[in-house]
């Protein structure tokens, strides 16, 4: 068996299984419901939460296979198992076990930080590990999440006290709900752009309620905190709100002023739903993998760091095939 990076995404050769395929595939495991990981596959393997969030974005799915965490099932001669990834609600890693007992794990996007809205990640012990490397460069070391959220709360309070509308720019799935849950639990009334509002209501149906919350209809009541998609913070969409202050929640905040310019924000807070470089290294070591393949983001840099720790690691870059086991 080998893993092959095709134009469509990862594929386990010798099997019908793709991994987070970006285009329609006969059969694909989907690790989570972010738009760059989903497509209208003929058959989809995912958690119930991911399938629900996918259907919200794509419409009715064809032949979805809902799989609970930690319940192995068969695909031909292979045994498959989903384990929590800690990235967003319903996110999962996939462990594939061959007949001879050899185990391959694909992490998808992963976060090891304690979360208010996502299932905590589990270490997936394996022989071969294929790991996402979004923040795999050594310069990415995130502060504790609770510390960052505390800074966000202080920023929100400061601007509310001066009569300005605090606007938090965050992705509609995952990042928004994490910050919203933190602020809602501290008594802040929230208002959200429809795209964020609808996903947050789905979180409630899936067991993670976030209240009080109102759909944004063009105005913000005194004391409310507005959540807004980063890509819509252009072209004067927020012009009617004044005075206002804008903050973006992103791991790229560690890049300095470039992050605030990129998102047209006043300030950037390093809140991420991905693991930073030290966390990725700790995770790799904990899996016991003897062979590590880094993927996407800073894959080359992470592989180099892992080799410095005595691990057999290499990056999977341009489409090619690497033998597993």
The CATH number given to whatever domain includes residue 174 is 3.40.50.10890
What is the number of other CB atoms lying within 10 angstroms of the CB of residue 219? 11
Nearest to 145 by CA among 107, 122, 118: 118
Please indicate, yes or no, whether residues 310 and 205 belong to a single structural domain of this protein. Answer: no
- What is the structure's pLDDT at 324? 52
CATH number at residue 313: 3.60.15.10
Cis before 243 (ω within 30): yes
- What is the structure's pLDDT at 271? 98
Please indicate, yes or no, whether residues 195 and 314 belong to a single structural domain of this protein. Answer: no
Where a domain ends, among 232, 250, 269? Answer: 269
What is the number of other CB atoms lying within 10 angstroms of the CB of residue 52? 20
DSSP 68-95: -TT--EEETTEEEEEEE-SSSTT-EEEE
Where a domain ends, among 252, 269, 286? Answer: 269
DSSP 271-313: --SS--HHHHHHHHHHHT-SEEEEESSSHHHHHHHHHHTT--E
Please indicate, yes or no, whether residues 123 and 206 belong to a single structural domain of this protein. Answer: no
Please indicate, yes or no, whether residues 175 and 88 belong to a single structural domain of this protein. Answer: no
| Gap between the Cα atoms of 68 and 120, Å rounded | 14
Please indicate, yes or no, whether residues 216 and 126 belong to a single structural domain of this protein. Answer: no
Look at residue 196 and give its three-state secondary structure.
Answer: helix
- What is the structure's pLDDT at 321? 45
Please indicate, yes or no, whether residues 33 and 82 belong to a single structural domain of this protein. Answer: yes
| Gap between the Cα atoms of 283 and 112, Å rounded | 8
Nearby residues of 262 by Cβ (< 8 Å), 6 or more positions away: 252
Please indicate, yes or no, whether residues 6 and 133 belong to a single structural domain of this protein. Answer: yes
8 A C-beta contact, residue 122 and residue 83: yes
| Gap between the Cα atoms of 53 and 90, Å rounded | 9
Where a domain ends, among 251, 269, 287? Answer: 269
8 A C-beta contact, residue 90 and residue 50: yes
Please indicate, yes or no, whether residues 182 and 235 belong to a single structural domain of this protein. Answer: yes
Nearest to 95 by CA among 108, 112, 113: 108
Helix (H) or strand (E) holding 204: helix 194-205
Nearby residues of 160 by Cβ (< 8 Å), 6 or more positions away: 166, 223, 225
Please indicate, yes or no, whether residues 83 and 28 belong to a single structural domain of this protein. Answer: yes
Look at residue 146 and give its three-state secondary structure.
Answer: helix
| pLDDT by residue, tens only, the chain of 325 residues | 678 888 788 988 888 999 999 999 999 999 999 988 999 999 999 999 999 999 999 999 999 999 999 999 999 999 999 999 999 999 999 999 999 999 999 999 999 999 999 999 999 999 999 999 999 999 999 999 999 999 999 999 999 999 999 999 999 999 999 999 999 999 999 999 999 999 999 999 999 999 999 999 999 999 999 999 998 887 778 988 999 999 999 999 999 888 899 999 999 999 999 999 999 999 999 999 999 999 999 999 999 999 999 999 999 864 444 455 5
Please indicate, yes or no, whether residues 159 and 127 belong to a single structural domain of this protein. Answer: no
| Gap between the Cα atoms of 325 and 128, Å rounded | 7
Look at residue 259 and give its three-state secondary structure.
Answer: helix
Strands across the sheet containing 267-269: 213-215, 190-192, 225-228, 165-169, 244-249, 267-269
Domain that holds residue 310: 2-140+274-323
Q: Give 11's strand partners.
A: 4, 18
| Gap between the Cα atoms of 312 and 22, Å rounded | 28
Please indicate, yes or no, whether residues 235 and 282 belong to a single structural domain of this protein. Answer: no
Please indicate, yes or no, whether residues 12 and 128 belong to a single structural domain of this protein. Answer: yes
Nearest to 188 by CA among 226, 229, 223: 223
- What is the structure's pLDDT at 235? 72
Q: How many domains is the chain built from?
A: 2
DSSP 155-174: HHHHHHHTTPEEEEE--TTT
């Amino acid at each position: 068996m080998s893993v092959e990076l095709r134009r469509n995404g990862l594929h386990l050769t010798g099997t019908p299984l793709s991994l987070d395929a970006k285009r329609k595939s006969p059969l694909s495991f989907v690790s989570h419901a972010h738009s760059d990981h989903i497509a209208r596959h003929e058959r989809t393997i995912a958690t119930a939460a991911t399938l629900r969030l996918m259907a919200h974005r794509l419409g009715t799915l064809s032949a979805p296979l809902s799989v609970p965490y930690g319940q192995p099932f068969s695909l031909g001669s292979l045994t498959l198992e989903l384990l929590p990834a800690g990235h967003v609600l319903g996110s999962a890693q996939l462990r594939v076990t061959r007949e001879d007992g050899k185990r391959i794990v694909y992490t998808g996007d992963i976060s090891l930080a304690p979360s208010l809205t996502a299932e905590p990640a589990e270490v997936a012990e394996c022989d071969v590990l294929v790991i996402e490397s979004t923040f795999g460069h050594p310069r990415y070391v995130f502060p504790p999440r609770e510390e960052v959220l505390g800074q966000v709360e202080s920023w929100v309070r400061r601007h509310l006290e001066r009569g300005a509308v605090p606007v938090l720019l965050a992705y509609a799935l995952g990042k928004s709900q994490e910050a919203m849950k933190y602020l809602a639990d501290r008594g802040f009334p929230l208002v959200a752009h429809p795209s964020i509002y609808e996903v947050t209501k789905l979180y409630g149906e899936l067991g993670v309620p976030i209240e009080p919350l109102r759909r944004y209809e063009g105005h913000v009541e005194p004391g409310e905190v507005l959540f807004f998609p980063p890509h819509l913070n252009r072209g004067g969409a927020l012009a009617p709100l004044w005075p206002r202050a804008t903050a973006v929640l992103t791991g790229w905040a560690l890049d300095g002023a470039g992050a605030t310019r990129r998102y047209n924000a006043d300030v950037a807070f390093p809140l991420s739903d991905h693991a930073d470089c030290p966390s990725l290294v700790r995770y790799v070591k904990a899996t016991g993998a003897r062979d590590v393949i880094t993927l996407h983001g800073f894959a080359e840099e992470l592989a180099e760091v892992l080799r410095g720790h005595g691990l057999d690691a290499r990056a999977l870059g341009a489409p090619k095939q690497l033998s597993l086991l």
